[in-house]
Amino acid sequence: MSEPTGVIHDIGYRHYDGVRLGRAHATLSLTLHSLRGVFGLGRTARSKIIPFLLAGVMMLPAVVSIAIMALVKQEAIGYTTYAVTMQAVLAIFLASQSPYTVAPDLRFRVLPLYLSRPVTLIDYVGAKLAAMTVAMFLLLAVPLTVLFVGELVIDLPGPAHTSAYLTSMAGAVAYAVLLACLGVAIASFTPRRGLGVASVIAFYLLTSAVSTVVAATMESVNNYTAAAWAWMINPFFLVDAAVQVGLFGAAPSAPTTYPAGAGVAVAILLMLALIALSVTALVLRYRKAAAR
Amino acid sequence: MTILATEGLTRRFPRVTALDQLTVTVGSGVTGLVGANGAGKSTLIKILLGLLEPSAGSAQVLGMDVTTHGAEIRRIVGYMPEHDCLPPDLSATEFTVHMAQMSGLPRTAARERAADVLRHVGLYEERYRAMGGYSTGMKQRVKLAQALVHDPRLVLLDEPTNGLDPQGRDEMLALIRKIGTEFGISVLVTSHLLGELERVCDHVIVIDGGKLLRSSSIAEFTQTTQTVTVEVEEGQEALAARLTELGETVTAHGRMLLVHVRAPETFDTLRDAVCELDLCLVRMEQGRQRIEDVFREPVNV
């Protein structure tokens, strides 16, 4: 250990008599710390590559779209279809970054240190979910906003797509919450980061493949109602059906329409149930981890 | 001043009783908690932090009940766990600042305190490097720093000398002594080596199988348990007989004789006895008191 070179004098130990903030401050600090971690800020340069690369890829359609708008004065990509079009990128980001929020704390046993502080287990889980939710929201909302600003600046003929933009932002919130809950919940079950990444991506591939195959099969036997339901197995189409189409009346981004009427209510309930299930699984998981 | 007190504290797990009717009181200063692995030390610490409910009995830390005031206790108590707990991709500075904020310090205060505390535990330039590349000694220092960063009134140190080499051990012990005296923070430190706690503690509590074996000040402790090991080339029996005759308590231990130190005069008696018998003295050393010796002796709390 190197000795201090520039020390003039040792002032001894000083006590701290400033303010001591409570749980809310600690939870917020943990959220910010985790959010920075998701984007690799304050970490090594290597851990910044993937999140920023994926964030860059998410920006591409917006940039290209702005260029098209500027050149041919025509809308290129719809706001509400953005998430569905870019679902693979969102899924890869979720899979690669959500294990980062939970796995190291389990693997390197940082969790007991957090619990020896004023925060409770629920605060901890809440902070981790909030961090991942904000990250997913930023990933989606920033390109949408850039696209909207671009549209306003270019001033396309006809009215601006303000309502479509707002709908897509509401959708972004729903996407962020659902995806973050699913991703963090799945990732929390293993202290190994690689395994967490694989589990989340496997979950996405499975739901997306199943929904496509079932929908295609149903369509081939002309059962379009069943096909419409089948699309919603994929969480990306589920949020589209429940929020963007169901609540705000946007055009569906799936190849077919979604179930209408009671179907909207079912889609919303299904989405909320998935969120609740993930949160419950997380809390149970951490109850068990904390007891060790 | 009472820092912590337990009353009939019991904790049962499905298969094992970790703490059994433990009643102890700890004052300010440095207190050692000694016990073999599985004696219930870590369970006691978890209960004191309010992280584990006691099955029966009660415990108070800094005058607050652990079952009802867990969060308040955790704000002014520091905890250094026995196991590794450092994320390898963060630097010691970032980690300590983050842990200070987790204890409720605002960001600027957290930065200041982290820099101060890291200097106190003896981490200088290396604190800006990622902790994954740290040696065990440096890791132990960071673990200690995060326990002190919010200026707690009490720190609970679980096996702080674990895995350290003799020099690192000495430095850690000196640091613990400094925390208790110079920093004015009460310390509860666990170990399974009584010998090393003797050097830094004011008070020692010995537990075994979750039961209190002994709780006494260090002066009392060393007085009643000190032994001196004597090794002579030949005539071990003769020396033992001679010493017993002179009223000393002697136990044969292989090639060694363990002589109980009643008073400083015991050393004179011993020297004289060896001279009188004209023996060749190989070694005479003060016995490093180990936990097993306490267990062997009758309990006289």
Query: B124–A4: do the CB atoms touch at under 8 Å?
Result: yes
Across the strands, what pairs with B22? B9
DSSP per-residue codes, A238-253: HHIIIIIIIIT-PPP-
Q: Is residue A14 part of a domain?
A: no
Query: B102–A117: do the CB atoms touch at under 8 Å?
Result: yes
CA-CA distance, B185 to A15, in Å (whole number)?
Answer: 10
pLDDT tens digit sequence for A243-252: 999 999 888 8
| pLDDT score for B274 | 87
CA-CA distance, B204 to B197, in Å (whole number)?
Answer: 8
B170's CB contacts (< 8 A; 6+ apart) are none
Q: Is residue A6 part of a domain?
A: no
B82 touches chain A (CB under 8 A): no
CA-CA distance, B84 to A153, in Å (whole number)?
Answer: 54
pLDDT tens digit sequence for B112-167: 999 999 999 999 999 999 999 999 999 999 999 999 999 999 999 999 998 899 89
CA-CA distance, B91 to B80, in Å (whole number)?
Answer: 18
Set of chain A residues whose Cβ sits within 8 Å of the Cβ of B71? 23, 118, 120
Question: What order of strands is seen across the sheet that includes strand B250-253?
Answer: B250-253, B256-260, B227-232, B281-286
Q: What is the mean pLDDT of residues B193-207?
A: 85
Q: Where in chain B is the domain with CATH 3.30.70.100?
A: 226-296
The phi and psi torsions of B18 (rounded to 5 degrees) equal -80, -35
Query: A118–B71: do the CB atoms touch at under 8 Å?
Result: yes
- The minimum CA-CA distance between A116 and chain B, rounded to whole Å, is 6
pLDDT tens digit sequence for A105-164: 999 999 999 999 999 999 999 999 999 999 999 999 999 999 999 999 988 888 889 999
pLDDT tens digit sequence for A191-247: 999 999 999 999 999 999 999 999 999 999 998 889 989 999 999 999 999 999 999
Set of chain B residues whose Cβ sits within 8 Å of the Cβ of A26? 101-104
Half-sphere exposure (CA, 13 Å, Cβ side) for B52? 26
| pLDDT score for B299 | 45
How many A×B Cβ pairs under 8 Å? 110
A8/A173: higher pLDDT: A173
Output the average pLDDT for chain A: 92
- The minimum CA-CA distance between B91 and chain A, rounded to whole Å, is 9
Half-sphere exposure (CA, 13 Å, Cβ side) for B138? 19
B129 touches chain A (CB under 8 A): no
Residue B297 has pLDDT above 80, yes or no: no
CA-CA distance, B290 to B191, in Å (whole number)?
Answer: 11
Q: What is the mean pLDDT of residues A40-48?
A: 89
Q: Is residue A10 part of a domain?
A: no
Percent residues over pLDDT 70 in chain B:
92
| pLDDT score for B196 | 81
Name which of A1, A164, A205, A154 is nearest A81 in CA terms: A164
Q: Are strands B211-217 and B64-65 parallel, antiparallel or unpaired?
A: unpaired
| pLDDT score for A257 | 83
Residue matched to tokens 């136990």 = B251
**Domain span holding position A128:** 23-291
Q: Are B92 and B127 in contact (CB under 8 A)?
A: yes
Set of chain B residues whose Cβ sits within 8 Å of the Cβ of A191? none
Residue B301 banded pLDDT, cuts 50, 70, 90: very low
Set of chain A residues whose Cβ sits within 8 Å of the Cβ of B183? 13
Residues 98-117 of B with CB under 8 A from A: 98-99, 101-106, 109, 113, 116
Q: Right CATH number for B226-296 from 3.30.470.20, 3.30.70.100, 3.90.550.10, 3.40.50.2300?
A: 3.30.70.100
CA-CA distance, B70 to A158, in Å (whole number)?
Answer: 62
Name which of A119, A125, A117 is nearest A34 in CA terms: A125
- With CA atoms as reference, the chain A residue closest to B179 would be A13
A169/B246: higher pLDDT: A169
A142's CB contacts (< 8 A; 6+ apart) are A55, A58, A59
| pLDDT score for B293 | 59
CA-CA distance, A64 to B221, in Å (whole number)?
Answer: 79
Interface test with B, best of A16, A25, A28, A49 (most B CBs within 10 A): A16
A4/B95: higher pLDDT: B95
Residue A8 banded pLDDT, cuts 50, 70, 90: low
- Report the domain count for chain A: 1
| pLDDT score for B300 | 43
Sign, CA dihedral A145-A150-A151-A155, equals: positive
Question: B133: buried, middle or exposed (CB in 10 Å: 19+, 13-18, 0-12)?
Answer: exposed
Q: Are B225 and B198 in contact (CB under 8 A)?
A: no
Lowest model confidence (mean pLDDT) among A79-83, B101-105, B207-211, B265-269: B265-269
Name which of B32, B27, B23, B13 is nearest B58 in CA terms: B23
Q: Is residue A12 part of a domain?
A: no
| pLDDT score for B255 | 80
Q: What is the mean pLDDT of residues A98-110?
A: 93
CA-CA distance, A33 to B117, in Å (whole number)?
Answer: 21
Cα A143–Cα A149–Cα A151 angle in degrees, nearest 5: 100
Q: What is the mean pLDDT of residues A157-173?
A: 92
Q: Are B186 and B180 in contact (CB under 8 A)?
A: yes
B293/A78: higher pLDDT: A78
Q: What is the mean pLDDT of residues A28-38?
A: 96
B2-222 CATH: 3.40.50.300
| pLDDT score for B116 | 94
The secondary structure of chain B, three-state, reads: CEEEEEEEEEEECCCCEEEEEECCEEECCEEEEECCCCCCHHHHHHHHCCCCCCCEEEEEECCEECCCCHHHHHHCEEEECCCCCCCCCCEHHHHHHHHHHHCCCCHHHHHHHHHHHHHHCCCCHHHHCEHHHCCHHHHHHHHHHHHHCCCCCEEEECCCCCCCCHHHHHHHHHHHHHHHHCCCCEEEEEECCHHHHHCCCCEEEEEECCEEEEEEEHHHHHHHHCEEEEEECCCHHHHHHHHHHCCCCEEEECCEEEEECCCCHHHHHHHHHHHHCCCCEEEEEECCCCHHHHHHCCCCC
Residues 25-64 of B with CB under 8 A from A: 49, 51
Q: Where in chain B is the domain with CATH 3.40.50.300?
A: 2-222
| pLDDT score for B231 | 85
